A and B are shown apart, each in its own frame.
Chain A
Amino acid sequence: MKRRDFIKYGMGGLATLVVGTKMPWLMDNPAYAAVQTQNLNFTITDAVKEMVTHEPGNNQATCYFWIYRSNSPAFPPDCPGPQIYTTVGDTINISITNELDEDHALFIPGMYNSGPIAPGATVTGTFRPNRAGSYLYYDNLNTPVNRVMGLHGALIVMPANLHGTRAGGSHRLTPYDRPTPAVQQLFDDFGRAPWWPGLAWEQGDPAANPPTPPFRQYVWLNHQASPVLFNEVGNAAPGTGARIPANFMDGFISDPFIATSNDPRLLLTVPAVPLNDTFNRLPHFFTICGQSGHFSHNHPAITPMNRVGEPCVVHVLNAGLWTHSMHLHANHFYITCVNGRVQSNLLWVDTFTSKPMDIYDMVIPYMRPPDIPNVRGIGRADAGLPAGLGTTWPPQQEFDVHQPKVGTTKISFLNPGTLIDIAQRQSPLVYPMHDHSEASQTAQGGNYNCGLIAGMTIIGDRNTPGWREFPRDADFDMMLTLGNGAPVTKPGGGTDP
């Protein structure tokens, strides 16, 4: 691995494989650690992952997983497996080695099935995706144990015409081979219709800072992790105990309640809640693309960070056994594809349901948040109303507010002798996307704000002259370009080792 690549992964670029036809719009984007290849070369193995909260002392914020690891290119191991982008008609060679102690597989519905791979064995094969869309690749053996233990990842198949052969005359490109009239109309209208000023989905802008890639798209792969149960699976012999699907699901879905609490304040309540640091087998980490809280909300390959007038697509998948109700702030989004069916009636919603194994696509128009006061008040890209020395859009007074305030200092993470200011400017405009159920907004059953959460950030407005880029402080800039920092957070929380 080149050192430059190593830095990209270290900074947390999202491990991405581009199989077959090159996709410069993805590979040139620093948020992704994208590598182009013709071959998938995976090992099925296990790993222990440090989760979002980090624990002092004996780190309890770890979780055991089974994972697909990419050997070549050699990506750092993670759960889920690398996200894979490929193109209809490309040939993909695949080689999978099973390093675990029972049969495993790799299965892509309608596309590829490795069949059982015995411990120590390697299976090779070839497949050609013939339909654009979002897929979950996963281990379909011992359902749902192997999949939920972490053997899954997202596969996005792009239509062949994205690479030059334009089918429909003046029609714009969409993520689908056969878009419905409604989907085609939506993508045709972006950047052309007066109510969608800005870029089409297929258009980028190399002059912007950072450059706007064309075909902006993101994967939100939802998952739930139970350290207690996954531990039991890891320690069980094949075919026994928690590896039996019925036992696994009993634990994951309906394990009896335990009043877990190590919060000393609860001893003072009436009635007092006795301290009990034991967890049940329900999941208590909730992830999007393997990350939670800050690590997904402030990640430019998970959370879209675009300008008004730069529509994007998000592929939402759920590899687990719990439903999530995914609510986006700042923009309603169009549902364009649900479980392989390109939609003919595009609901424009602020919340949508991600049930276990559901796969849907949402299109975020990236319009100005419509309920910011404006001239006509009918949701169009009107000018703001006079306020102070400017107008309500862009909100320049709000841009200059800091929360926390300037002068709020803490000790630097890297340098214990240095104080840093943790003030955060209210520019760019940051909005969350979160499951609307508290149960997934926690980590380890505690809260704020380590759960299943991402967002959308508005870094500028290409429809208001002079405001293509909103003001950004240095740390936001660094995060946006993944351009600084140490690769790994050490030491863990609590006292230094």
Chain B
Amino acid sequence: MALPNSNIIIPRRSIAGMEGMWAKMWDPPTESNPITPERLNPTNPVPDFVGTLIGRPPATPNTLDLELLDGLTLPAWDGVNIDFMTFGNKDIPLASGGTFPGTTIRVPRGVIFHATTKGKGPPPHTIHWHGMEPTPMNDGVGHTSMEIGDYTYQWQPNFIGSYFYHCHRNTVQHFEMGLYGFLIIEPPDAYTPGGGNNPGGYPRRTAANTSAFPQFPGFQAGEISPADPHAYTIPYDYEALWVCDDVDSFWHNVVGQEAKAFYPSILTRPGVDDQFFHGHFHDFNADYWYITGVSVDGGYQGSTGTIPPNVVVPMDLNSGVTGMQVSINAQTGKTILVRCLCASYNSMRVTFPVDVVIIAWDGRALGVPPFGRYSRAYKVPAGTSIRMSVARRFDALIRSTTSVNDFATVEFINTRGENVPGREQIVKTALIPIVIN
């Protein structure tokens, strides 16, 4: 169809003098095993703790050993095989061939964290530690640093809470393909036995200010410092991880075969002979949905499916912590922490059958001074929805004195037409069992 007649042309802006900046965004530099600047000795105790549990010390002490990437084919609820790109965790036999999602990484606040990455299969990739805020080279963004196969990432987590990690290739394309996992920052002494800590299980503690919600026992105020690891934390007896994802099987099973599909490249003269391919990555149509790796059954677009009861994450895939749940099965009068990540391009509406108290968003605990003095934890009554969109996380506390045998509802909402009258579309509903006796 001919372009409508218009006598006004709006020209593209110039890149003259900025060829390097243009080229870096268009086709990020690829580096082979660059040196980590300002390198420190790692002090993260968790890899060694896990190594003791599974009888196999980590290849490098105090260091995670991740592989980019391992292909994985997983049957969905209907038996259809879906191809994933996943992280392999080389120190853990159960995870060495990749898992979806990747292993849950737990790190105590304040330690020096190192993760070595080894490239496998077609590069390039990166690891972005979403919510961690390190230097650009350790931020894992290709167009602001480099794309890699091998590198040692370094950072020091400063805030307790819920995060995730993912490959940042083309920003978030490989994230959709499954290259991600959950990341939890815990109190500084979470892996130090004694003082009420249980490194390999529960109860554990997380950051919160629940002074307005005395129904949750054990809250400690104080002064946040290395000397007071429990200041502004609360213990929880059960933990549930809800990583809510959607998959476009065409992206996974067809395009995923050509890992560099549509990647542009810089040829000889930036801005003049750049190579650029047309494609269809503007057109995402989810047809499968997952809660923490569990395929949601019940049909395709518009259907409702149910997560089975008693889904528990093995300790090998959870930094040595036994008992983390997906479907909740708990006792009355105990504190349950739900960590929920919207890992789906679809937006979400999460509705609990019980009252919950939101204690944190995006790894920042509400009401915790000094930076949280402008906020406070808040109650979301049973039946009231929490809306979120991709990459957002909330931490919610539940404590029920009466029995509950019900479901939390996760409604996936198409981002196309969301909030547009008559056009908002719920594409899938997932029910997650909550049983409290």
B23 touches A410 (CB 8 A): yes
B270 close to chain A: CB less than 8 A: yes
- Asked if B47 CB lies within 8 Å of chain A CBs, one says no
Residue B80 is within 8 A (CB to CB) of chain A in the complex: no
Judge whether B326 is part of the interface by a CB distance below 8 angstroms. Answer: no
9 closest A-B pairs by CB: A234-B4, A377-B110, A422-B20, A397-B37, A325-B389, A263-B277, A398-B37, A47-B8, A323-B415
Q: Is the CB of B38 within 8 A of A350?
A: no
Q: Mark A423-442, 1 if CB is under 8 A from B, else 0.
A: 11010011110101111111
A401 in complex: contacting residue of B134, B137, B224, B262, CB < 8 Å:
B137
Q: Is A127 an interface residue (CB 8 A)?
A: no
- A47→B260 contact, CB < 8 A: no
CB neighbours (8 Å) of A440 from chain B are 282
Binary CB contact string for chain A from 245 to 281 against chain B (1 if under 8 A, 0 otherwise) = 0000100111001111111011011110100010110
CB neighbours (8 Å) of B110 from chain A are: 376-378
Is A76 a contact of B156 with CB atoms below 8 Å? no
What residues of chain B lie closer than 8 Å to A330, measured between beta carbons? 133, 139
Chain B residues with Cβ under 8 A from A47's Cβ?
6, 8-10
Interface membership of B77, Cβ < 8 A: no
Which residues of B sit under 8 angstroms from A340, Cβ to Cβ?
Answer: none
Looking at chain B, what size class is its interface with the partner chain?
35 or more
Q: A353-B389, A446-B281 are in contact. Are A64 and B371 (CB under 8 A)?
A: no
* Contact assessment for B374 and A424 in the assembled complex, using a CB-CB cutoff below 8 Å: no
Q: Is the CB of B40 within 8 A of A422?
A: no
Q: Could you tell me if A488 and B136 are in contact, using CB atoms closer than 8 angstroms?
A: no
Given known A-B contacts A231-B1, A485-B14, A487-B14, A413 and B270 have beta carbons under 8 A apart: yes
Which A372-404 residues have C-beta < 8 A from chain B?
372-374, 376-379, 384-385, 387-388, 390-392, 395-398, 401, 403-404
Does the CB pair B20–A423 fall under 8 Å? yes
- Sample of 13 further A-B pairs with CB below 8 A, known A445-B262, A495-B273: A45-B6, A183-B374, A266-B261, A294-B25, A350-B131, A351-B389, A376-B226, A431-B139, A440-B282, A445-B281, A447-B281, A489-B13, A493-B272
Q: Closest B residue to A402 by CB, please name it.
A: B29
Known contacts being A358-B419, A436-B172, A438-B171, is A353 close to B375, with CB within 8 Å?
no
Query: Is B370 within 8 A of A235, CB to CB?
Result: no
Interface hits, A35-77 → B, CB 8 Å: 45-56, 62, 64-65, 67, 69, 76-77
Q: Is the CB of A372 within 8 A of B283?
A: no
Q: How far is the CA of A384 from the CA of B158 in the complex (A)?
A: 13
Could you mark each residue 95-118 of chain B with 1 if its beta carbon is under 8 Å from any beta carbon of chain A, else 0? Answer: 000000000000001111000000
Interface residue ranges of B2-29 to A (CB < 8 Å): 2-4, 6, 8-29
Stretch at the interface among A200-208, A210-218, A448-456: A448-456
Q: Which residues of A contact B172 (CB under 8 A)?
A: 434, 436-438, 441
6 intermolecular pairs with C-beta atoms under 8 Å apart: A46-B6, A77-B10, A235-B1, A370-B159, A387-B40, A426-B136
CB-defined contacts of A152 to chain B, threshold 8 Å: none
Max chain A Cβ within 10 angstroms of own Cβ: one of B111, B155, B280: B280
Query: Which of chain A's residues have a CB closer than 8 A to the CB of B266?
Result: 410
Q: Which residue of A lies closest to B388 (CB)?
A: A353
**Distance of A65 Cα from B128 Cα, bound (Å):** 36
Partner-binding segment picked from A115-123, A154-162, A166-174, A341-349: A341-349
Q: Is A412 on the interface with B (CB-CB < 8 A)?
A: yes
Asked whether B158 lies within 8 Å of A371 as measured between CB atoms, the reply is yes
B279 touches A442 (CB 8 A): yes
Measured in the bound complex, the distance between the Cα atoms of B38 and A221 in whole Å is 38
- Would B141 and A329 count as touching, CB distance under 8 A? yes
B262 touches A234 (CB 8 A): no
Known A-B contacts A410-B266, A432-B141; the reply to A444 vs B38 at CB < 8 A is no
Check B137–A489 contact: CB distance below 8 A.
Answer: no
Q: Is the CB of B21 within 8 A of A298?
A: yes
Given contacts A253-B417, A395-B37, are A294 and B26 in contact (CB under 8 A)?
Answer: yes
**Beta-carbon contact of A493 and B285 below 8 Å:** no
Q: Contact size class for A?
A: 35 or more
Residue of A nearest to B145 (CB): A403
Enumerate chain B interface residues (CB-CB to A < 8 A): 1-4, 6, 8-29, 31, 34, 37-40, 109-112, 128-137, 139, 141-146, 154-159, 170-173, 175-176, 188, 224-226, 250, 254-255, 257-258, 260-264, 266, 268-274, 276-285, 342, 345, 347, 361-364, 366, 370-376, 378, 387-392, 414-420, 423
A356 close to B (CB within 8 Å): yes
Q: Are A349 and B392 interface neighbours, CB within 8 A? A: yes
A491 CA / B25 CA spacing, docked (Å): 20
Other-chain residue from B10, B224, B271, B373 in contact with A49 (beta carbon distance below 8 A): B10
Are the C-beta atoms of B156 and A377 separated by less than 8 Å? Answer: yes
Closest A residue by C-beta to B11: A488
Known: A413-B19, A447-B279. A351 touches B159 (CB 8 A): no
The reply to whether A377 and B226 contact each other, CB–CB distance below 8 Å, is: yes
- B270 touching A51 by the CB < 8 A rule? no
Please measure, in the bound complex, the distance between the C-alpha atom of A321 and the C-alpha atom of B257, giving whole angstroms.
Answer: 31
Cα–Cα distance between A260 and B277 once the two chains are bound (Å) = 10
Q: Which residues of A contact B143 (CB under 8 A)?
A: 297, 432, 448-449
Contact among A269, A345, A448 with B258 in the assembled complex (CB-CB below 8 Å): A269
The residues of A that contact B157 with a CB separation of less than 8 Å are 371, 377
Chain B positions within 8 Å of A373 at CB level: 38, 40, 112, 154-156
Residues of B within 8 A of A297 (CB): 25, 143
Interface centre among A262, A263, A487 (most CB of B within 10 A): A263
Query: What's the Cα separation between A273 and B128 when bound, in Å?
Result: 30
Closest to A368 in B: B133
Does A111 have its Cβ within 8 Å of any Cβ on chain B? no
> Are B3 and A64 interface neighbours, CB within 8 A?
yes
Which of B12, B131, B145, B276 is A444 in contact with, Cβ under 8 Å? Answer: B276
Q: Are B278 and A261 in contact (CB under 8 A)?
A: yes
List residues of chain B with CB within 8 A of the CB of A355: 347, 418-419
Whether the pair B8, A404 counts as a contact (CB closer than 8 A) is no
**How many angstroms between the C-alpha atoms of A231 and B10 in the bound complex?**
16
Instruction: Give the distance in Å from the alpha carbon of A151 to the alpha carbon of B373 in the complex.
Output: 41
Write out the residue numbers on chain B whose beta carbons fall within 8 Å of the beta carbon of A446.
Answer: 262-264, 276-279, 281
B331 to chain A, nearest CB (A): 31
- A357 close to chain B: CB less than 8 A: yes
